[in-house]
Chain A
Amino acid sequence: MIFNEIELQNFRQYKSSVKIPFSTPNNDKENITLVIAANGVGKTTLLQAFRYCFYGQKSAFLDLPNRDELVNNMISSEIKELDNCEMKVSISFTHKNKKYLAIRRQKFIKRNGKLHRSGEEVFTLSGLTEYEGWKEFGSSDAQEKIQSILPDGLSQVFMFDGERMQRNFADKKFGEELRESILGILDIKKFDKLYDIIGSENRVNSVLGMLNKKIIAPTEKDQKVLDDYNRYLKSQKSLQDEIEKIQDELDKVNKQLEDTKAIQAKLEENTKRIADRDKEDANHNKAKENLEKLSQDYLGKARVALTSRLLLEVKEKYQDYISQGHTHELFYDNLHINTIEDIIEKGICVCGRPVSSHSEEEKRLIELKAVSLPIESAQNLNLIAQKFKKSVEYQEILLELKDIKSKMSEEKLNMQNHRDKSNSLTKEIARTEEKYGNLDYKRYESLQNSKMEIVGRLSQKKRDLELVDGGIEKGKTVRERIELSNAGNRKVRDVINLVHEIKNEIFNFRREKDSNARDILGENFDSIIKKTLQGNYSTIIDEKYKIQITNMDTGVDETSVLSTGQNIIVSLAFVNALIATAKELSKTIDTNEKYGVIMDAALSNLDESHIYRVSKTNINSLDQLIFMSFKKQLRDEMYNGIKSNIGKAYLLTKNKKGFIEKTELAINQLDTFIHEYEEEENE
């Protein structure tokens, strides 16, 4: 079902005739018609006009305030008393390669200054045939045909407004609406109706009730047994309902207990982390202590090392200098002045030869005396030489120091490793605390107490039910005896049993379809969510159509704490999933047929990255989209995401009289138009 054009005449703010032709998909391109309007300038009315045209004013899916006043309220001032006017919405569309024109109109007459309905609301549907041109369906066929093309339950999917999209998924209303949509998709509402018509023996107006009435009344005594039996039946139903409710409560508390347990487990992991961190800190301090000891050890040896090193550095210079003295012919390292003086004074050499005054020997000794050293200088030079000799120990000391330094490097590395581990644990601890808060044992205790109380109540009700079941079983025997005694009653009972079987089959058939649909929808939804929602999420749709979105990284159910942006992503993913499911399951929806979607999307709360994802993944994948938005929302990410698919664009404005006017916008100037700033914009 692809929309070609809508015409609104005197419908709400649309006065006279406003026609809006839509862009139709062309090789999967140009599938978007953009309708730009500020808030309050007819976007929602336009969307609801589709629902009005197809399903009428009384449709449960028409969602407009003051739905009895759909006609433009200014017309009455423009026409004369007793003059007529008409309100009309017509939509032309193509379905299965055939063109259709749907028109819904309502005539009005002005009486006593006010507009009054004149006649019934009229719906006509015409199809374009190859040989006979436009051919109108009969009035009841027309509505049936529309329902077969697009059941009204699906109008929520194919014509949805932004309000719905911002509803929280944990919201009960959402589950109900979702259920409605599914029933629409499955086309099984009629089974519900049939189920209701069959009813039960207690409902006198139902089939079973009426059949029950056919059973001939028993004796007074038997009647009492039957009355008791019926009372037991009522009690059984009421007890079953109560048990179901209590079971729900129990499920809820069990779920809360599980969640609390999971949180406690996470927080207890923190206790282990804290102990690990303390260990890492202790190891860090130990390594630091070792490092300090090693550095003290090193510095203890550094004095000698430094001195030796410096001595080695000056050795050559010193040696060269001293060698200058050695080159002197008369210089002797160990020739002391005191020795020379002693020999001259004694007049005899150390070798025993005499040394006479003025002899050659004495002259030589006097020459030597001039260059010989005082004894202490010789000793000192000797000491200096010893210091230099000792400096070769440098090699050995340096080896020791290198060994210490290498150990220090190891300890530094240890320190760093322990510090890194400790920091990483600190971050994890803080993250967990921020996410799960503090350990609340009281909450767990209080939930356990609630559970005990609920289990107590449940057991009591189950015991009551057992008693009632016993009473019913007893009454059943009596009832069967009474009924068997009456052949007529027996026949009626046979029919009643048969109808019960039919009722059960309907119920099972419906349940199977329902469950099948939920499975398929769940799979589609889960698959789209995994592609579009940032993070690692998994989804479940339970028997009550309650959606649960779980963060797989943390195992926490985040359905009720999704951000607005996430909610919109989830909603759009859901719409895509519903369409996919509708195509897969509905008898009326053709899998290969293309379906247009009308979207009044309030996406203003979306952040830029989400808008981009929405437009890229969800919006562009639709067969045809009539997208209603306002300028500010379209800027940047949104517009960039969809612009290549826009085939037509319109601007809706209000004229001075408050009526809506349509202006078609040139696609090649759309970019400039959208990014023009207008002061009155205050969306």
Chain B
Amino acid sequence: MSNLIKNTPQDLEIKYKASTYEFIEKILNQETKDVPMVLFMLSLLGITNDKKIPLESESKNEGTHNFSIRTMYNRNESDFDAYIGLISILDNLELPPEQVINSIAFERTGVNGTTFLKMKNVKSFFEYMLGGIDVFNNKFFIYDKSNVGLVDAIHDYLISDYNKLDELIRSMVLEEMLENE
């Protein structure tokens, strides 16, 4: 049995909406801290709204933010792989699943000699994450930037189209029950 190939992650510095990101991270990590989940949530927001911003993009008066991806990745490797993989799959729905799953979604630095941030899956994940910042800003800072204003906007979104989601959740729960039997 061959040994698993390990990823060699790189830290990331963003110049696009850095302070907005920091603000979002601060308010969503008030109770417990989970930066990878914040990144994943933003990336999901980006991809569901088809908003992708190149990593080298810059915005005025927002400074920079450094992600210690090396530390973060090593501590949450499996979560990161799943997050990056899922975004990558959703980003390549036009390609055959075998190709996406075997060669793109879970690509690692050791396989093709490509550096971490240049790999298609990692790059897409963070590009959608930057897009997600914009979406978050436009969607949830509509009243004001206070906690209460933000709650109002997020709540409006969370309770929208609930019936459809409820149906989906019921079928998922049923499916799991059948699997367990």
Contacts and interface: CB of A to CB of B under 8 A. Distances in A.
Interface of A: 291-292, 295-307, 309-318, 321-322, 324-325, 328, 331, 338, 341-342, 371, 373-377, 379-381, 383-384, 386-389, 391-392, 394-395, 398, 401-402, 405, 408, 412
Interface in B69-83: 78-79, 81-83
A646 B82 CA distance: 98
Contact of B172 (A295, A302, A392): A392
B30 A306 contact: no
A292 B165 contact: no
Given A299-B27, A300-B31, A387-B82, A311 B44 contact: yes
15 contacts: A296-B30, A298-B154, A303-B37, A303-B38, A306-B45, A309-B157, A310-B44, A318-B90, A341-B2, A376-B108, A380-B85, A383-B78, A389-B172, A398-B158, A412-B148
The 4 closest A-B pairs by CB, nearest first: A300-B31, A325-B97, A383-B82, A310-B44
B48 interface: yes
B29 A303 contact: yes
Contacts, number: 153
B32 interface: yes
Nearest to A298: B151
A396 to B, nearest CB: 10
Given A303-B41, A312-B169, 18 more contacts: A292-B147, A302-B28, A303-B29, A303-B37, A309-B157, A309-B158, A317-B93, A321-B93, A322-B89, A325-B98, A338-B2, A374-B102, A376-B5, A376-B108, A377-B105, A380-B81, A395-B166, A405-B155
Is the interface on chain B under 10, 10 to 19, 20 to 34, or 35 or more residues? 35 or more
A325 B101 contact: yes
Contacts of A321: 89-90, 93, 97
Most chain-B CB neighbours within 10 Å: which of A292, A375, A392? A392
B50 to A, nearest CB: 12
B2 A295 contact: no
Contact of A376 (B4, B148, B158, B172): B4
Contact of A389 (B40, B47, B165, B176): B176
Contacts of A374: 102, 106
Contacts of A388: 172
B158 A318 contact: no
A117 to B, nearest CB: 94
A305 B165 CA distance: 13
B contact patch SS: helix
Given A380-B82, A384-B86, A392-B172, A405 B151 contact: yes
A contact patch SS: helix
Contacts of A391: 172
B101 A377 contact: yes
Contacts of A408: 148, 151
B168 A312 contact: yes
A342 B1 CA distance: 7
A295 B150 contact: yes
A315 B29 CA distance: 25
A287 to B, nearest CB: 12
B85 A307 contact: no
Contacts of B5: 376
Contacts of B41: 303, 306-307, 310
A375 B81 CA distance: 13
A373 B101 contact: yes
B178 interface: no
